[in-house]
């Protein structure tokens, strides 16, 4: 292998990982559900690109082509289409009242980014390709969990769950093992697909019952 190729691959992975982080921060401040769905699809496309580059750069990581293909088919096309259809069906296209406003959310996510780099620093030697890729993965996890707490709409929380899964997959493909065993990745992927479809039905039922997607309305079920 040409010695320039690993360096170029590392630079491309670093660039795509940084783009995933920027997209995550845009999702934090963006309240339009349809725009957030498109941002998630774009973030997943970056993840598929990273898996493809690592698979191309290392002959023993060919299973990452399958990961890239599943990510492309499932999280770039199918799930965004499904969520987009759900949002149009329930006719609620905006997150109205997050717990924290955009300024406070960005400030907190800046702290999450710093924490992600601190947590990942002792493990940077495990990632052979891409500078700070593991730190970005940790940050995606933290901001994804924050989004799940900060947003009230069920679709927004589904998207937050999906970005957490993107962070997990980014960490897996960036480490020295270049991903979990394929059977594990397939299991996680299909479990996620089933979970999103079930949550889609739940969103519709919440909308039908309460004329809202605000999950805090579920507190009315007490009795």
Q: In degrees rounded to 5, what are phi and psi of residue 153?
A: -75, 140
Residue identified by tokens 């969520």 is 83
d(Cα 161, Cα 144) in Å, to the nearest integer? 7
**142-179 pLDDT, tens digit each:** 999 999 888 877 778 888 888 988 988 888 777 755 55
Give the residue-averaged pLDDT of 3-15.
77
Q: How confident is the model at residue 183 (pLDDT cuts 50, 70, 90)?
A: very low
d(Cα 167, Cα 43) in Å, to the nearest integer? 10
Domain ranges within the chain, ordered by starting residue: 4-221
The residue ranking higher by pLDDT, 105 or 176, is 105
Residue identified by tokens 């997150």 is 95
Residue 166 CB neighbours (<10 A): 24
d(Cα 148, Cα 173) in Å, to the nearest integer? 24
- The predicted model scores a pTM of 0.80
Q: Taking a C-beta distance cutoff of 8 angstroms, is the pair 20, 136 a contact?
A: yes
Alpha helices in the chain (DSSP H): 4-29, 33-57, 63-70, 79-90, 102-120, 133-150, 154-174, 182-210
Instruction: Give the orientation angle of helix 182-210 with respect to helix 154-174, to 10 degrees.
Output: 170
Residue identified by tokens 């799940």 is 148
Long-range contacts of 84-87 (CB under 8 A, 24+ apart): 84/34, 84/37, 86/155, 86/200, 86/203, 86/204, 87/33, 87/34, 87/37, 87/155
């Amino acid at each position: 292998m040409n010695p320039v190729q690993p360096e170029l691959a590392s630079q491309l992975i670093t660039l795509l990982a940084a783009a995933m982080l920027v997209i995550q921060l845009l999702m934090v401040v963006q309240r339009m559900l349809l725009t957030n769905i498109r941002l998630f699809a774009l973030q997943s496309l970056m993840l598929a690109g990273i898996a493809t580059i690592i698979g191309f750069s290392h002959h023993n990581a060919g299973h990452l082509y399958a990961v890239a293909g599943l990510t492309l088919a499932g999280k770039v096309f199918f799930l965004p289409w499904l969520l987009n259809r759900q949002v149009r069906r329930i006719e609620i296209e905006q997150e109205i009242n997050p717990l924290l406003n955009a300024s406070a959310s960005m400030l907190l996510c800046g702290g999450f980014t710093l924490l992600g780099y601190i947590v990942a620093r002792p493990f940077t030697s495990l990632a052979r390709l891409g500078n700070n890729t593991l730190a970005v993965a940790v940050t995606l996890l933290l901001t994804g969990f924050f989004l799940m707490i900060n947003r009230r709409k069920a679709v927004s929380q589904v998207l937050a769950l999906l970005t957490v899964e993107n962070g997990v997959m980014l960490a897996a493909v960036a480490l020295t093992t270049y991903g979990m065993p394929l059977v594990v990745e397939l299991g996680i992927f299909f479990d996620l697909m089933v979970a999103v479809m079930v949550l889609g039905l739940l969103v519709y039922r919440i909308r039908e019952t309460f004329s809202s997607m605000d999950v805090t309305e579920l507190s009315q079920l007490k009795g």
